């Protein structure tokens, strides 16, 4: 015979509260835990739409500084503040430069650090000596 004491105890599910803010308002509340900065996903998407393939840095054609000037201009038009530049930086890269960026895990560094790192890796002393002889 089944009695109340032999039945398994079933409890109602407990609610943990409302969903975290990043699910409700991703453009304002989503943050990168490693950098503690807003992700600026809306602005980064706008930047990706504006960029053309010719404007991206690939190490082969133009200098990093020239492509960085284009990057600053596009970020300004998209409304991305300077503290969000690191989020959109991969958008300006292609080919070898993009491969190097991801293989070197440069996202965890500061924007100026990443720019210097990319510049010196691809356009180090050999690049400057080669341009001096032209």
Residue 51: predicted pLDDT: 94
Q: Which has more confidence, 125 or 102?
A: 102
The percentage of residues in the chain with a pLDDT greater than 70, rounded to a whole number, is: 63
Q: 119: closest CA among 52, 54, 71?
A: 71
Residue 103 placed within a domain: yes
Examine residue 53 and state whether it is found in any structural domain, yes or no: yes
The verdict on residue 129 lying in a domain is yes
More confident site: 134 or 49: 49
Instruction: Judge whether 98 lies within some domain.
Output: yes
Residue 52's domain comprises 36-133
pLDDT of residue 41: 87
User: Residue 90 class from Cβ within 10 Å (0-12 exposed, 13-18 middle, 19+ buried)?
Assistant: middle
- Let me know if residue 25 belongs to a domain: no
Tell whether 30 is covered by a domain.
no
Number of domain units in the chain? 1
Is 1 a member of any domain?
A: no
- 83-116 pLDDT per residue, tens: 999 999 999 999 999 999 999 988 889 999 999 9
Copy the structure tokens of residue 125: 């002393």
At 134, is the pLDDT very low, low, confident or very high (cuts 50, 70, 90)? low
In a domain, 9, yes or no: no
Residue 7 predicted with pLDDT over 70: no
The SS3 assignment for 16 reads coil
């Amino acid at each position: 015979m089944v009695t109340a004491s032999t039945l398994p105890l079933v409890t109602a599910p407990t609610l943990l509260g409302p969903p975290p803010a990043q699910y409700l308002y991703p453009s304002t509340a989503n943050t990168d835990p490693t950098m503690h900065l807003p992700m600026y996903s809306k602005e980064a998407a706008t930047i990706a739409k504006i960029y053309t393939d010719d404007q991206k840095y690939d190490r082969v054609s133009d200098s990093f500084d020239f492509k960085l000037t284009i990057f600053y201009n596009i970020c300004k038009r998209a409304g991305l503040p300077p503290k969000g530049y690191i989020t959109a930086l991969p958008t300006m890269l292609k080919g070898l430069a993009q491969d190097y960026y991801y293989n070197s895990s440069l996202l965890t560094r500061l924007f100026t650090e990443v720019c210097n790192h990319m510049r010196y890796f691809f356009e180090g002393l050999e690049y400057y000596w080669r341009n001096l002889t032209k």
